[in-house]
């Protein structure tokens, strides 16, 4: 029976009292109840930075040592602290993986004495530092750990390890990566088909296993240097053709993905296109102070419609975005609440740290408010709709194009996103009455055509404008992009 943070446990050896915690240090690592590693990663990165700072002047930034010597010292004294215990890690999300990559490259920049804001690509940093990519470093670490497991196989809990299917699958991918690199330098065959051959090496020839790993790391570095040289050659060739040859202008490519080009988001007042709807909302909040529609229903971390406790504001906001029934109930109450902290606020971050995933969503109990007649959720912009309707009534001419230009100008003056603009135009068209249309000077059909034109993304140049990345001498692009540019130029000739 649990008593506060204590739990009474009765075993065959007697009665014990254990403490129930969300996390604790286990063999030098933070063991979290959720199994995630983001806190441990931040701790490891902090230890790596502390180790670097302790010997920064003496070793790592000492000009009397060559870069390769400093890189060897860096691997021994810094990366060993960062990667200790990481052999069993799996990144659970892209955000954690991105943070780890960025933190490692910041350490590489410190080793090379490169300023944090210097515009140098990661590939050039890897080439100058003579250090592996973070992904390659993690692969090598896991494969070394695999050899350690076979060295201690008599006490290794293989049954437990086999239960971790995600890690076993990652190890198989690492072995496949290793074989793809060294297949032409060894007699070992594909590990997915002939795994027994690899087990034999792991059991009885551990020194040869270390040699294979060192060979793979060196081959990977050489391949990276080759790709970097090819990219540099393509960049310099295009620059030479643009300056002294027949190339009229630098090659270009769309800056948006194909899926992003088919969707339209942006700010009407700033005439700025956004990649996603989330980006549109972020721009409206940061630049114009327009908050998300759901935040008007948030007074605490509990939903007032279903009485569920979500422990933080961001989780409640995500709930209200998708829970149709709760949205309808709260919208019918016409709530006018002071604005509560939102996603990214310090208050919300404190709530997330306090909660730390220790509790699930809890169902509250108590009296509910009297139900009120529900009404449709109107996402249109009232002020913009009224301004457009008044302009249509006050317009005295018969030129529909002139009315179109004036209505377009009104829309461009409003700090509003394209998503809500389109909803407003659709709502205005659906709510028109015959009496209203009869008073419009341009006529019924021309006015409806004006609304259709305003609701067409092609009317707004900044929404359909495809931004292009231009090849220039200051940036290295991917090799496949250079090859695509070269093929395009060859077709043009």
Give the Å distances, CA to CA, from 102 to 95, 115, 191, 478.
11, 14, 32, 19
Task: Read off the tokens for 14.
Answer: 């007697």
- Nearest residue to 352 (alpha-carbon basis) of 34, 31, 101: 34
**Among 163-172, 408-417, 452-461, 482-491, which stretch is predicted with the lowest mean pLDDT?**
482-491
Q: Cβ–Cβ contacts within 10 Å for residue 384, how many?
A: 21
What does the pLDDT look like over 393-415, one tens digit per residue?
888 888 888 999 999 999 999 99
- What letter does residue 118 receive in the DSSP assignment? -
Say whether pLDDT at 297 is over 60.
yes
Question: Whole-prediction pTM value?
Answer: 0.73
- Could you give the count of Cα atoms lying within 13 Å of 453 in the half-sphere of its Cβ? 15
3-state secondary structure of 440: coil
Instruction: Kindly tell me if the per-residue pLDDT of 330 is higher than 50.
Output: yes
Check residue 151 and report its DSSP letter: H
* 3-state DSSP assignment of residue 156: coil
**Whole-number Å distance between alpha carbons of 182 and 193:** 16
Lowest pLDDT segment from 70-84, 124-138, 470-484: 470-484
Radius of gyration of the chain (CA): 31
**Where along the chain do its domains lie?**
26-131, 138-219, 256-288+379-466, 291-377
Rounded (10°) CA dihedral 377, 381, 387, 388: -80
In the predicted model, is pLDDT for residue 4 greater than 50? no
pLDDT score at 396 = 85
State residue 433's pLDDT score: 85
Query: Exposed/middle/buried for 412, CB within 10 Å: 0-12, 13-18, 19+?
Result: middle
β-partners of residue 308 are 363
The pLDDT tens digits of the residues spanning 186-223 come to 899 999 999 999 999 999 999 999 999 999 999 999 99
Residue 475: C-alpha distances to residues 116, 323, 483 (Å): 17, 46, 16
Residues forming beta bridges with residue 302, ordered by sequence position: 309
CB burial readout 346-376, b (16+ within 10 A) else e: eebeebeeeeeeeeeeeeeeeeeeeeeeeee
pLDDT band for position 374 (cuts 50, 70, 90): confident
Residue pair 272/462 in contact (Cβ under 8 Å)? The answer is yes
Lowest mean pLDDT among 396-400, 424-428, 446-450: 396-400
Question: 111-115: long-range contacts (C-beta < 8 A, 24 or more apart)?
Answer: 111/52, 111/60, 111/61, 111/70, 111/71, 111/74, 112/67, 113/61
Token pair in block for residue 231: 């990219």
Query: CB pairs under 8 A, 24+ apart, for 322-328?
Result: 327/294, 327/297, 327/377, 328/374, 328/377
The pLDDT value given to residue 21: 81
Tokens (6 digits) for 209 = 């296993």
If you count them, how many residues does the chain have?
493
Distance separating alpha carbons of residues 422 and 384, to the nearest angstrom: 11
Nearest to 337 by CA among 385, 297, 386: 297
SS3 assignment, position 14: strand
* CA angle centred on 59, ends 55 and 64, rounded to 5°: 155
Average pLDDT over residues 41-54: 93
Residue 253 — φ and ψ, nearest 5°?
-145, 155
Half-sphere exposure of 345 (CA within 13 A, CB side): 12
Tell me what the mean pLDDT of segment 11-31 comes to: 81
pLDDT in tens, 225-275: 998 898 888 888 877 777 776 665 556 555 555 454 557 889 999 988 888
**89 by DSSP, 3-state: which?**
coil
Q: 25 pairs with which residues across the strands?
A: 30
- What is the distance between the alpha carbons of residues 85 and 142, in angstroms, rounded to a whole number? 10
DSSP letters, 332-386, are HTT---PPPP-TT-HHHHHHHHHHTT-S-PEEP-SPPPPP--------S-HHHHH
Residues 117-175: tens digit of each pLDDT: 888 888 889 999 999 999 999 999 999 999 999 999 899 999 999 998 999 999 999 99
Q: What rounded mean pLDDT belongs to the chain?
A: 85
Report residue 53's pLDDT band, with 50, 70 and 90 as the boundaries: very high
Provide the 10 A C-beta neighbour count for residue 97: 16
pLDDT for residue 26:
78
pLDDT of residue 340: 83
The pLDDT of residue 468:
55
Cβ atoms of 272 and 283 closer than 8 Å:
yes
Assign 199 to helix, strand or coil: helix
Measured in degrees and rounded to the nearest 5, phi and psi for residue 19 equal -95, 130
């Amino acid at each position: 029976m649990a008593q506060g943070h204590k739990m009474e446990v009765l075993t065959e050896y007697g009665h014990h009292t254990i403490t129930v915690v969300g996390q604790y240090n286990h063999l030098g690592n933070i063991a979290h109840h959720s199994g995630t590693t983001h806190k441990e990663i931040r701790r490891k990165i902090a230890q790596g930075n502390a180790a670097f700072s302790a010997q920064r002047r003496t070793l790592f930034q000492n000009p009397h040592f060559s870069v390769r010597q400093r890189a060897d010292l860096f691997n021994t004294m810094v990366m060993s602290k960062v990667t200790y215990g990481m052999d069993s890690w799996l990144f659970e999300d892209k955000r954690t993986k991105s943070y780890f990559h960025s933190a490692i490259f910041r350490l590489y920049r410190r080793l090379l004495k490169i300023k944090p804001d210097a515009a140098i690509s990661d590939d050039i940093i890897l080439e100058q530092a003579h250090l592996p990519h973070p992904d390659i470093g993690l692969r090598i670490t896991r494969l070394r750990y695999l050899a350690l497991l076979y060295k201690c196989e008599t006490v290794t809990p293989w049954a437990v390890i086999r239960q971790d299917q995600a890690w076993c699958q990652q190890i198989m991918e690492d072995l496949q990566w290793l074989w793809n690199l060294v297949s032409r330098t060894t007699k070992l065959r594909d590990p997915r088909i002939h795994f027994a051959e690899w087990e034999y090496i792991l059991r009885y020839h551990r020194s040869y296993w270390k040699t294979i790993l060192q060979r793979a790391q060196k081959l990977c570095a050489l391949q990276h240097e080759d790709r970097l040289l090819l990219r540099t050659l393509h960049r310099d060739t295009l620059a030479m053709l643009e300056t002294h040859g027949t190339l009229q202008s630098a090659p270009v490519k769309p800056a948006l993905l194909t899926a992003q080009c088919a969707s339209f988001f942006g700010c009407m007042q700033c005439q700025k296109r956004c990649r996603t709807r989330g980006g549109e909302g972020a721009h409206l909040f940061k630049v114009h102070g327009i908050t998300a529609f759901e935040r008007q229903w948030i007074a605490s971390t509990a939903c007032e419609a279903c009485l569920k406790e979500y422990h933080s504001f961001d989780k409640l906001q995500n709930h209200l975005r998708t829970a149709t029934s709760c949205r309808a109930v709260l919208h019918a109450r016409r709530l006018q609440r002071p604005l509560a902290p939102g996603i990214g606020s310090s208050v919300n971050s404190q709530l997330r740290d306090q909660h730390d995933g220790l509790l699930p969503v809890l169902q509250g109990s108590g009296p509910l408010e009297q139900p009120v007649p529900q009404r449709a959720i109107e996402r249109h912009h009232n002020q913009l709709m009224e301004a457009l309707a008044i302009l249509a009534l006050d317009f005295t001419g018969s030129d529909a194009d002139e009315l179109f230009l004036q209505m377009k100008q009104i829309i461009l003056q409003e700090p509003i996103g394209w998503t809500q603009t389109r909803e407003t135009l659709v709502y205005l068209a659906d709510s028109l009455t015959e009496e209203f249309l009869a008073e419009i000077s341009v006529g019924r059909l021309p006015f409806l055509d004006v609304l259709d034109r305003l609701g067409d993304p092609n009317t707004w140049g900044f929404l359909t404008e495809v931004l292009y990345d231009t090849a220039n001498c200051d940036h290295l692009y991917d090799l496949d992009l250079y090859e695509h540019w070269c093929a395009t130029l060859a077709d043009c000739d």
